[in-house]
Chain A
């Protein structure tokens, strides 16, 4: 069974600074997707970024980028120029290409200090 681990229950960052959230996963498969979702206090789960495992290039979406290390089964999220609106719970998730379910980590609560 696939598992996703987020070892940082809480992180904090100063506004305008950079922060990196960690995620590791365990799978014996080679073809899968990885995601970062953001869940603000409103509880709506919002897609931040996705990465296809067969792509070597790390995904980037504006201030958000990932460091995907397939051999190490590591998938970290870097948030640059942090903004107050980035404060939320961040979840790392895995999905097998041929599967249906998303498997989520336990989440990292990010606080952005003004």
Chain B
């Protein structure tokens, strides 16, 4: 049973650049959430995707955008990178209530560590 996978594992960018992070959900899951975890802090919710639409969004600027594909995989895009965007980006998947799953339980991937110079 494949768990949540993320790519790449590490990434180095410079200020002003754009970055795309990728996530494949756990087998059978249909919902993907993204979190940002700064060093020494708890994860902060960015947004959640379900049925290829953004269902809920946290307190992040429009520079952060996402997409969900028909196979439930997802991308997180960050434009005009700032030094403060350096963090671990976590993807989590879950199976929605609509499909008979315990929608509240999210399973996390290993994360992508982004460094902005």
| Closest A residue, CB atoms, query B44 | A104
Q: Which of A91, A101, A105 contacts B48 (CB 8 A)?
A: A101
Residues of A23-38 whose CB lies within 8 A of B:
33, 35, 37
B111 contacts chain A at the CB level, 8 A cutoff: yes
- Interface residues of B, count at CB 8 A: 23
Question: In the docked arrangement, what's the CA distance between A105 and B43, Å?
Answer: 8
- Interface residues of A, count at CB 8 A: 24
A84 contacts chain B at the CB level, 8 A cutoff: no
Q: Are B107 and A103 in contact (CB under 8 A)?
A: no
Rounded to whole Å, the gap between the CB of B37 and the closest CB of chain A is: 8
Q: Are B42 and A100 in contact (CB under 8 A)?
A: no
Q: Are A106 and B104 in contact (CB under 8 A)?
A: no
B7 contacts chain A at the CB level, 8 A cutoff: no
B residues with a Cβ closer than 8 A to A are: 33, 35, 41-45, 48, 55-56, 58, 88, 90, 92, 104-111, 113
